[in-house]
Structure 1
Amino acid sequence: MAGFHVQAFVDALVLEHGASPRTVEAYRRDVVRCVQFLRTHGVHRASDITAAALREFVYSLRDTVPPRKSSSIRRNISALRTWFRVLTAEGLVSIDPTERLDAPQRGRTLPDVLSVDEVTRLLAAPALDERLAFRDRAMLELAYGAGLRVSEWIGLAMKDVLLEDALVRVLGKGNKERLVPIGRSAIGAVAVYLRELRPVLERGEGRGLLFLNGQGRPLTRMGAWTILRKYVQLAGIEKAVSPHTLRHSFATHLLQGGADLRAVQEMLGHADIATTQIYTHVDREYLRSVHRQFHPRA
């Protein structure tokens, strides 16, 4: 690793910075990990390292299984910045490529999403011989098909489902109302549920809400979680899936299909587009994984 001056970096940490043995070892390990990555990508000297190459290294940390935590990635970036401060101070390199290297924001992690195949399996999981299958299929189709928060889907009133217009009227955070389009699959599933099952469940305690439990009362948040977990298991999905995972998947799949970010913001009911922009990062990770898998020179 002579071309990367790792030993000079370690010596400087010990002799000039007075770093603890634990910090020295952690930083050395982080830099070595980066060097190994760079070598596999055709970089063999510290002076040849670019900001773009370092960004790809940071992206690779996010792609590990399981993905590294943001705190671990920030420490990695801190090690790289310290490494290049030492190298520039000692005249071993002339340019510091870490100056434009951004660390992940604290508390902002990329949400888990389902693949299209996993969503298809999940939506097909309710077996028609089950008593509440029509409700469960309608609930899952609508939750994914409209990108609803769990509080929104259990709070939907029958009057808010405008099947002829292919819309649902949603009361979101801050009592902000929005109209969200729904597709044929969701329309069909909800129509069957309204025709075949909901009248059977209704015993005067439904309060006009769309989704009822087996006793004819409004479905609770915990009830929705329980139903979702049941079908995640039946579909053979090994990821940790929450109601919000369906919302994340809705947004990600729209962007993968070429949807405009502003349109996705409107459908999700985000007040600030910066909240919606996290899904562009999810989409970028998806595109990168596709490139690695299928490009002959990846």
Structure 2
Amino acid sequence: MYIHHSDVQVVFMFTERFIRYIQFEKRYSPHTVSAYQSDLDQFTGFLNNPQKLSPPPPPVITHPSQITHYHIRNWMVELMNQHIIARSINRKIATLRKYFKFLLQEGVIEINPASKINTPKIPKNLPVIVEDVKLTQMLDDNEVFGTDFKGLRDKLVIEMLFGTGMRLSELMGVKDSDINEYEGTIKVLGKRNKERIIPVNNELKLLIAEYQELKKKQDFFGNNSLTLIVTDKGANAYAKLIYLIVQKYLSYISTQNKRSPHVLRHTFATSLLNRGADLNAIKELLGHANLSATQIYTHNSVERLKSIYKQAHPKA
């Protein structure tokens, strides 16, 4: 299939309208908006490859209504051939569903081509965690991070993710004004723009205060930066920076391949559950919409109990 340059602009006009909708009306996080934009760009790029499309589409796509469920299914097959994991494929299809639903509401199309799509099943893998004892020992070792601004910032990133269980996007969105030092809490803006309040322990509270004081000495408060976590030059922190910080320090205590900010979120939840925390309380702390999302952590706890039983029981 060949798409003329002018026709690409027609398709992109609706894409850009959709991006403005989720950005300004739905007020999705910048990270989510970027993911939606990337998914739509990938799908548009796929439509420009005629050899990958079956049955043959119209010679020129001039309107989104010409896109059918066959195109979407073919894209899914192509993603699978590229060994993209099921979770990522499902997210991309969810993007198309929301995009075409928006076009349906706007009267641009009459049928949602993504409504007939069945997404691949996601294997239920246990959440990847690190040993909280080793993590705590590392955080208590003052020589690991150093006392300069960068070292204190890096330590705060690890402490915030492990001490609150917040998501990467949530950490990047935390402002200095979201810290309530008197109450010992942090206000977080989660998915679907839902706010929640997370308590912080005294050690983390002191670390935040120490970091903010050093941040003032660096004159980063006057650098038009409102977020708590900033770069070495005082600009708002970005996702890759947080990833690199987490990967660096988790490599000191873990040899596993997965060393992402979400591993610390999983470790936070599993540690609470192993120490007797109520599942509903963990759900609220994590900002899950329903309990089923939180229950996955019970599997880690069951595996831990099995391990203890095998080690300790004479009949195991």
TM-score, structure 1 normalization: 0.61
1:125-274 matched pairs, under 5 angstroms: 126-200=144-218, 202=220, 204-233=222-251, 235-239=252-256, 240-274=258-292
2:126 is paired with a residue whose SS is coil
1:41-120 matched pairs, under 5 angstroms: 106-120=122-136
1:256–1:216 Cα change, 3 Å: same
Contact 1:206–1:218, Cα closer than 8 Å, also in 2: no
Rounded to whole Å, the distance in 2 between the matches of 1:236 and 1:138 is 17
> Which residue identity is paired with 2:300?
V
CA deviation after TM superposition for structure 1 residue 144, in Å: 0.7
CA deviation after TM superposition for structure 1 residue 128, in Å: 1.8
2:218 is paired with a residue whose SS is helix
1:199–1:156 Cα change, 3 Å: farther
Rounded to whole Å, the distance in 2 between the matches of 1:267 and 1:242 is 19
Contact 1:135–1:197, Cα closer than 8 Å, also in 2: no
Rounded to whole Å, the distance in 1 between the matches of 2:169 and 2:224 is 16
Per-residue Cα deviation, 1:24-70 (whole angstroms, up to 9, x for no partner): xxxxxxxxxxxxxxxxxxxxxxxxxxxxxxxxxxxxxxxxxxxxxxx
Rounded to whole Å, the distance in 2 between the matches of 1:118 and 1:163 is 28
2:198 is paired with a residue whose SS is strand
Rounded to whole Å, the distance in 2 between the matches of 1:200 and 1:252 is 37
1:116–1:202 Cα change, 3 Å: same
> Which residue identity is paired with 2:177?
K
1:145–1:203 Cα change, 3 Å: closer
1:263–1:122 Cα change, 3 Å: same
1:165 is paired with a residue whose SS is coil
Per-residue Cα deviation, 1:155-210 (whole angstroms, up to 9, x for no partner): 10001111221111000000000001111221121111011235415164343110
Residue 112 of structure 2 corresponds to none
1:164 is paired with a residue whose SS is coil
Rounded to whole Å, the distance in 1 between the matches of 2:225 and 2:249 is 27
CA deviation after TM superposition for structure 1 residue 117, in Å: 1.6
Rounded to whole Å, the distance in 2 between the matches of 1:150 and 1:213 is 15
CA deviation after TM superposition for structure 1 residue 106, in Å: 3.5
Per-residue Cα deviation, 1:123-145 (whole angstroms, up to 9, x for no partner): 24643255411111112111111
Rounded to whole Å, the distance in 2 between the matches of 1:131 and 1:166 is 23
1:270–1:231 Cα change, 3 Å: same
Which consecutive residues of structure 2, in runs of 5 or more, have no partner in the other structure?
A: 1-120
Contact 2:149–2:214, Cα closer than 8 Å, also in 1: no
CA deviation after TM superposition for structure 1 residue 273, in Å: 0.6
Residue 309 of structure 2 corresponds to 291
Contact 1:144–1:250, Cα closer than 8 Å, also in 2: yes
Rounded to whole Å, the distance in 1 between the matches of 2:221 and 2:189 is 25
1:263–1:219 Cα change, 3 Å: same
CA deviation after TM superposition for structure 1 residue 213, in Å: 0.4
Rounded to whole Å, the distance in 1 between the matches of 2:314 and 2:201 is 37
> Which residue identity is paired with 2:253?
G
Contact 1:113–1:245, Cα closer than 8 Å, also in 2: yes
Contact 1:251–1:279, Cα closer than 8 Å, also in 2: yes
Rounded to whole Å, the distance in 2 between the matches of 1:231 and 1:115 is 13
Contact 1:206–1:212, Cα closer than 8 Å, also in 2: no
Residue 70 of structure 2 corresponds to none
Rounded to whole Å, the distance in 1 between the matches of 2:169 and 2:138 is 20
Contact 1:146–1:182, Cα closer than 8 Å, also in 2: yes
Which consecutive residues of structure 1, in runs of 5 or more, have no partner in the other structure?
A: 1-104
1:264–1:196 Cα change, 3 Å: same
Q: CA RMSD in A?
A: 2.0
